[in-house]
Amino acid sequence: MAHTIRTPGIVAGRLEKDVLAENFSDLHPPLDAHEAHVAADRCYFCHDAPCITACPTEIDIPLFIRQIATDTPLAAGKTILEQNILGGMCARVCPTETLCEEACVRELAEGKPVEIGRLQRFATDALMAHGPQPFSRAAATGKSVAVVGAGPAGLACAHRLAMHGHDVTIYEKRDKPGGLNEYGIASYKTVNDFAQAEIDWLLDIGGIDIRYGRALGRDVTLEQLSDAHDAVFLGIGKPGVNRLGGFDLDGIRPAVDFIADLRQSDDLATLPVGRHVVVIGGGMTAVDAAVQSKLLGAESVTIVYRRAQADMPASRYEQDLAASNGVNLMFNAQPVSASGAGAVESVTFEYTADNGTGLKGTGEKFDLPADQVFLAIGQVLEGAPEDLSREGAALATDPHHRTSLANVWAGGDCSATGEDLTVTAVAQGRDAAEAIHKSLMGEGGPTNG
């Protein structure tokens, strides 16, 4: 994307600093002890709890809520973190409305679920504030594992391997850990630099060394990692972004880059935003970019999604959040072209329809004014070794997250299983670590040639 032409419509400081501080305050303020007790009392403590099944990390939700209800929040925090070591972050960013809370019996009976996410935050925050983590390393095994990527999958894998006594070296291409938790999630969901605080707490277990500025393929090869370590786990996410042909005017950029800039900004008053912003896409990234543009002071922000509202990947909760912040949502419209004298001034769209034979343009077009356009049309796998088998565009893995190479495992967004969610990445990293541990200790399990 070009960034050399000046775009007068994209400026910093549209709002006063105190307004920005209010706009980017905690989306869901934490529960106090009394509120947590009231929320916990609504749980039926189901025996065959559907909320557990709906959680990718299979946290024992009724148990940790009962522990909160009986004034043992530290025990509740441990119950959560035993299954999900990034349970504090997941409590903040998980789409609980489509996972555990959607499956809640209270939701089915009353249309108002138990506030599982906020209760999870209450418990994990209490445990983290109490002091060191309640997990420790087993006796050293003498084995070492390379983990590529310090995102949710890599961190979960590393922590579980460290618990088993293995030495772990994480190779991270950026200069900070966290992956999408640090660079790709709306700022108002994780305030006060929580992502880094959680990682610091996680690393206290010991046995985990992070080497920054080390990208797979650029600075280190899979062969080198395999030679230096007893096993390798790939948690490299999907670092590439899909592009649109012809959308190369100044003022057009990937939404993930905008979100990363915002997350790393020390002063939001210095972050430029357009007067008229258009976001192309329909997932969580599109919503995060659109809402934050509005919170930065953009006059008009429009999300345009090519399919019907019911097909939009972002949950209805996220859609409503966008609308409540003044974001316009348009459906059944696909981008055709961007226009402007060097810098974008408008985007042309074509209405779409699906009559049962697939999505097609209707021929009817319209223009939206735009001095800033964010593309949120999906991310792609880049940098993975070519000799690893693929399933579609992602890495193929067996049920134990082993790739086509016997000593290499993979999980998170780069693998072909599961949804692109933090909680799914954590589950896959954790489970891969268990498989790696069994393999290193000679406890059997399937092998690939």
Which pLDDT value is given to residue 444? 59
Q: In the predicted model, what is the mean pLDDT of residues 361-389?
A: 95
State how far the Cα of 90 lies from the Cα of 11, in Å rounded to an integer.
Answer: 33
Residue 4 has pLDDT above 60, yes or no: no
Q: Which fold has domain 144-239+381-440?
A: FAD/NAD(P)-binding domain (3.50.50)
- The pTM of the full predicted model, rounded to 2 decimals, is 0.94
Which pLDDT value is given to residue 357? 87
Residue 291 has pLDDT above 70, yes or no: yes
Structural contact between residues 17 and 276, judged by C-beta atoms closer than 8 angstroms: no
Q: How confident is the model at residue 7 (pLDDT cuts 50, 70, 90)?
A: confident
Q: What are phi and psi of 370, to 5 degrees?
A: -160, 130
Q: In the predicted model, what is the mean pLDDT of residues 166-186?
A: 96
Q: In the predicted model, what is the mean pLDDT of residues 302-314?
A: 97
Residue 6 has pLDDT above 70, yes or no: no
Residue 79 has pLDDT above 80, yes or no: yes
Q: Which fold has domain 33-130?
A: Fumarate Reductase Iron-sulfur Protein; Chain B, domain 2 (1.10.1060)
State how far the Cα of 415 lies from the Cα of 237, in Å rounded to an integer.
Answer: 8
Q: In the predicted model, what is the mean pLDDT of residues 188-212?
A: 97
- DSSP-derived secondary structure for 113-146: ---HHHHHHHHHHHHHHHSS-S--PPSP-S-EEE
Q: How confident is the model at residue 448 (pLDDT cuts 50, 70, 90)?
A: very low
Q: In the predicted model, what is the mean pLDDT of residues 292-300?
A: 98
Equal CATH topology for 33-130 and 144-239+381-440: no
- DSSP code, position 182: H
- DSSP code, position 9: T
Q: How confident is the model at residue 418 (pLDDT cuts 50, 70, 90)?
A: low
Q: How confident is the model at residue 137 (pLDDT cuts 50, 70, 90)?
A: very high
Q: How confident is the model at residue 73 (pLDDT cuts 50, 70, 90)?
A: very high
Best CATH choice for the domain 17-24+241-375 from the list 3.50.30.30, 3.40.50.150, 3.50.50.60, 3.90.650.10: 3.50.50.60
Structure tokens at 49: 């709890």
Q: In the predicted model, what is the mean pLDDT of residues 21-44?
A: 96
Residue 428 has pLDDT above 50, yes or no: yes
Q: How confident is the model at residue 446 (pLDDT cuts 50, 70, 90)?
A: very low
Q: Give the rounded distance of the alpha carbon of 412 from its chain centre.
A: 10
Structural contact between residues 253 and 210, judged by C-beta atoms closer than 8 angstroms: no
Domain range list for the chain: 17-24+241-375, 33-130, 144-239+381-440
CB atoms within 10 A of CB 424: 23
Q: In the predicted model, what is the mean pLDDT of residues 178-201?
A: 96
Count Cβ atoms within 10 A of the Cβ of residue 160 and give its class: 0-12 exposed, 13-18 middle, 19 or more buried.
buried
Residue 3 has pLDDT above 80, yes or no: no
Compute, in degrees rounded to 10, the torsion defined by CA atoms 203, 206, 210, 216. Answer: -100
Cα separation values, 281 from 176, 376, 378, Å: 28, 5, 8
Structural contact between residues 204 and 132, judged by C-beta atoms closer than 8 angstroms: yes
Q: How large a percentage of the chain has pLDDT more than 70?
A: 97
Which pLDDT value is given to residue 8? 82
